[in-house]
Structure 1
């Protein structure tokens, strides 16, 4: 069995968290863009979760390794990745994470968690490393096998992982891949709740309105959610895609309106779940400065949710602090 193969042992293979009186629980929004169209203002979706001394990537959009460098974090510090779903705006930087860790010969195996399909995606990345693997690094010795540098564990709805030292992850399938209100039988989009002691952060990934996400977020200290400015985005798509057929535009509107969260839907989930604060990321808005959309986003959320709301910037961190 190669290191890329599924291993139940790997679920409990996290090293112990730092033995401190209050280990960190911190979320850093490396990239806050939403959707597959690159913008000058925001990097593609990626996040860094700090749990004690651990550094975990949650989604790895294009530019992830550059964003890590901008906050001064060495790739060798990251040994775990959680993928919410296998759309390229959320996984486009995974090849660089895997490949550059391998080229630098950082110690330890990178573990990639994600929904069904993640194994095939990573196997494709490893296959693409065959040529650089045959070239080597000019050190006079054969390089390590790329397949030995990464392993994959696919997750399913309702699963929980014990990360040790009071930390864990809960998994829920959301509605991002639903068809006519029914789950896709062959694919899944996952939301995650990361827990450390009594503190918790729920990350939606990409989702539409979802009772499962609301249940997952119940009582979370921090709710990290996507958001879409639907009308503005549809107008921008129509203006940019002059060649688009009416059928294509209708399908796009149907997808965006049911598989993503308008501000009102974010507020509804946050209020029903009773979360402590909302952190918005994955801004599905037209290219341009975010402040022009902020009043409408805040107003939509405030219709139901009256707690703190942050519109995250790239490279911004949110620390939950300590409590008994």
Structure 2
């Protein structure tokens, strides 16, 4: 009897408030990972299409989902089940190509709740339509034990941002991050045209661990981007080398000569050169510029310093020409 009472007493000490509690882990610094740094809907060997990750205490937040995203996540050992949210900058295919496999593999390989997908008008339709199109995957399952999977249509939920967003707006918040968005200038379709309905591009600001990370998305010169980036620690910014783009377009067999000039006009109006980036970064007071979405960003490029030409004329901070899997 005495032994029993002693055992119960010791057990009470071990489980009660008098027992030493496990020391909580100190929060780790956020990680910024460039998962894809090439712009445009072309498959490359050396760079994947646009995608970025912010990782906070193991929780993953993705900005864009270009082709190659899942392969790059595997290279960085990022668990699909830990992805908390995805933020799409716009609906061009090089920014959304891996959205289907991200949603479906996450549903298939983890027990994570539905993935929030935030993006321009049409994001909710894109998500629901994609999951609906992949219904045959659900109808031809691999038989495994355990509880049944929820319906595939619940794998993700799309959220449309306001069509007009002229000031930074909080669009997502949890215990690890705050995410703000603003509209930027990547399209010039006439108001009221069918194209203008869904043609919106957004920049995002992710605040975590006392740091601010701004992602330009695709844009031409934009005062709204400057407002969003005020005082940011990192500006992950698209960049274009117009001379290289023109050479690449003229050498590409898929374009007729009459198609090239309108494309070049789009590149001039709706993307950023180094000179323009330097002005934006200086006026916004950012600490570091990371160049991504390199256009043309082709395989075998040398003299990458050309992409940064003109930035230092205006901006005195650090400039990094990003490569896939770079981490900050």
Give me the TM-score of the superposition, normalised by structure 2.
Answer: 0.84
In the superposition, relative to structure 1, how do residues 139 and 21 fare at CA in structure 2: closer, same or farther (>3 Å)?
closer
Q: Comparing 219-228 with 170-179, which one deviates more in the overlay?
A: 170-179
Q: Comparing 129-138 with 165-174, which one deviates more in the overlay?
A: 165-174
Residue pair 1:109, 1:150 contacting (<8 A) in 2 also: yes
In the superposition, relative to structure 1, how do residues 20 and 173 fare at CA in structure 2: closer, same or farther (>3 Å)?
farther
Q: Comparing 211-220 with 98-107, which one deviates more in the overlay?
A: 98-107
Instruction: Give me the whole-angstrom Cα distance separating, in 2, the residues matched to 1:242 and 1:102.
Output: 37
Q: CA deviation at 1:26?
A: 2.0
Instruction: Give me the whole-angstrom Cα distance separating, in 2, the residues matched to 1:42 and 1:29.
Output: 10
Q: CA deviation at 1:206?
A: 0.7
Structure of greater Rg = 2
2:6 alignment partner in structure 1: none
Residue pair 2:128, 2:157 contacting (<8 A) in 1 also: no
**1:84 aligned to which of 81, 85, 89:** 89
Q: Comparing 207-216 with 196-205, which one deviates more in the overlay?
A: 196-205
Helix, strand or coil at the partner of 2:186: coil
Matched, 1:218 2:230: yes
What do residues 117-169 of structure 1 show as CA deviations (whole Å, max 9, x unaligned)? 11111122101221111112223786431012211122232421352447311
Residue pair 1:221, 1:276 contacting (<8 A) in 2 also: yes
**2:313 aligned to which of 278, 300, 303:** 303
In the superposition, relative to structure 1, how do residues 131 and 300 fare at CA in structure 2: closer, same or farther (>3 Å)?
same
2:287 alignment partner in structure 1: 276
| 1:250-289 matched pairs, under 5 angstroms | 250-285=261-296, 287-289=298-300
Instruction: Give me the whole-angstrom Cα distance separating, in 1, the residues matched to 2:299 and 2:264.
Output: 21
Instruction: Give me the whole-angstrom Cα distance separating, in 2, the residues matched to 1:286 and 1:23.
Output: 33
Instruction: Give me the whole-angstrom Cα distance separating, in 1, the residues matched to 2:276 and 2:27.
Output: 34
Residue pair 2:50, 2:64 contacting (<8 A) in 1 also: yes
Residue pair 1:236, 1:286 contacting (<8 A) in 2 also: no
Give me the TM-score of the superposition, normalised by structure 1.
Answer: 0.85
Instruction: Give me the whole-angstrom Cα distance separating, in 1, the residues matched to 2:77 and 2:296.
Output: 29
Helix, strand or coil at the partner of 1:40: coil
Residue pair 1:172, 1:192 contacting (<8 A) in 2 also: yes
Q: CA deviation at 1:87?
A: 0.8
Aligned residues: 298
- Structure 1: which 5+ residue stretches go unaligned? 1-18, 319-324
2:156 alignment partner in structure 1: 150
Instruction: Give me the whole-angstrom Cα distance separating, in 2, the residues matched to 1:243 and 1:226.
Output: 23
